[in-house]
Structure 1
Amino acid sequence: MMAETGTIPFTYNQETYQTWYKVVGDISSDIRPVIALHGGPGFSHHYMLPHAELAKSRGIPVIFYDQIGNGESSHPANKPKEFWSLDLFMDELDNLLAHFRINDNFDLVGHSWGAMLALHYASHRQPQGLKHLVIVSGTPATELWVEGTTRLRKQLPPDVLDVLERHEAAGTTDSKEYQDALMVFYKKHVCTLDPWPKQLLQSFDVMGKDPTVYTTMWGSSEMSADGTLRTWTCVDQLHTIHCPTLLTNGRMDEAHDVNVMPMFNKLPRVKWVQFANSSHLAFFEEPERYIAVVSDFLLNA
């Protein structure tokens, strides 16, 4: 399978950075390419690599990249929090599309934060070349995400919930006790596999080495959402997205159904598939069915 890696110069606010990318498949083929938007914010492309199966089994070229501040891309230092904005990441995506000359014909698959970015990009910039949108375990509003995770955390054992609440109140969410309690939630609602896949661990490791984007945009904890995205919403813009859109989540997903329902109700051309044996990472937990569902949508919707 053809694969290519490289970097793309990206100029923003009169400074030039580098966006690292990996292309799997033949981008010059007659099959429309899909760009994979990783989550976090602050993760890397590594855990999205199961989407390479779209190229291997269905011939769909896939472009992976590390968003600026993450992974192998540039890590701008000492930037004000306003620097890490949705406009930054939308401009970077536009720059990537222009580099590959696919502005007029492309698909997007966004997972978690990547799904938020995809929704914001599709609704605010309304790119004419966007033909299909795949929203994987995402949300159209941060407050809906918090509502969903709050519902799920109430189902945790009382002692685990006590640890979470105590450290969140004290502002000590970086403590080992808090992180261990958070892992109980993760193993139920983020990834149910044991052990976790190496690619997923790799992305967690990348974020741990430079958590700037995550802590600035999302906040101190997965459940706190006290960063710059805390008031983000594009619910009122969903009706402007006219390309066919596939929504997916897992039955045990931290992307609770409360996140998906507004999208299902407001998007004009929409399909919703829920994976019964998955949490937040169906492409690891039910890979064959996930690839079949997504590839069928991209090729036939």
Structure 2
Amino acid sequence: MDAHPRAAPARVVEQHRTGYLVAQAPDEAVGVESLPEWQLPRCPPEQRAAVGDWVLVEDGRVVVLLPRRTVIKRGAAGEHYRQQVIAANIDRVLVVCGLDGDFNPRRIERYLLLVRGGGAEPLIVLTKADHGSAEVDAAREALADVVGADVPVIAVNARDAASASALAPWLGEGVTAVLVGSSGAGKSTLTNTLLGRERMRTGEVRASDDRGRHTTTHRALIPLPSGACLIDTPGMRELKPTGEEVIAENFTDIEALAEQCRFRDCGHCNEPGCAVRAAVQAGTLGPARFANFLKLSDEHAAAARQLEERRRNPQPTSGSKRRR
């Protein structure tokens, strides 16, 4: 603040290629330019402002990115290690999943890994609950060993305001929440219902596979009548760990079993006396959950190695000049 005495704090409500929309009050967004270094191709994405970030603005330009309280991010697609910030300074992450072909407990496990790694509180929202109570009950049963007792699971009809009001306890005044989930899960429909008006464009879901198109093309922070702020996001097909998460926090049941293994460094593959594989064989641990645990553990370990390598050997920005 001392270096920019005329700067004012504002919150990022939309992120674009070369600039941002920021707001100091609800529905008062203005366009500002980004820091020049953020526009360089080699600038790490997580070091740029994202939707939900607080920044200092002076003369129509962002001059400082303020520290983040929480963040949700993922490993970006591509061969080289990079991170992508989905949203910052959020209280709750609503993981939206449709009760149709979109429902996938293994993908929800991935979302929970990313959410908990950033410090926000997860909430599972099952949309299309109008399909029937049998589908809701089956989904809750399938998620029993995935979410544990500390993560609420709420089923709603995203098109019905009365049904969506079940989310009110988690969207009170001053709360910032972000919607994440695949295309066609009903995120934009739910946003419109919570707003009470059609703001976000929605699209039909293909009958052949219950998949939707990307009707939301960018992230946007929207004030709700309840006094909460809601961030809608495009559908995400790839959910790669960043290497900063803690696997044990998301698989406490498997970690508890691992304590009973004969060897402390048991890899749960072919070692004798493995309590984890014994639980799978006994039917007390689902084989799909165990397989996803092994897969995510491997991906997380690889991402952690790449992250450490990048921290040891940071790449110069494309604007850096080499000495001859």
Using structure 2 for the length normalisation, give the TM-score: 0.28
Larger radius of gyration: 2
Higher relative contact order (CA 8 A, sep 6+): 1
TM-score (norm 1): 0.29
**Structure with more of its chain in helix, by fraction:** 1
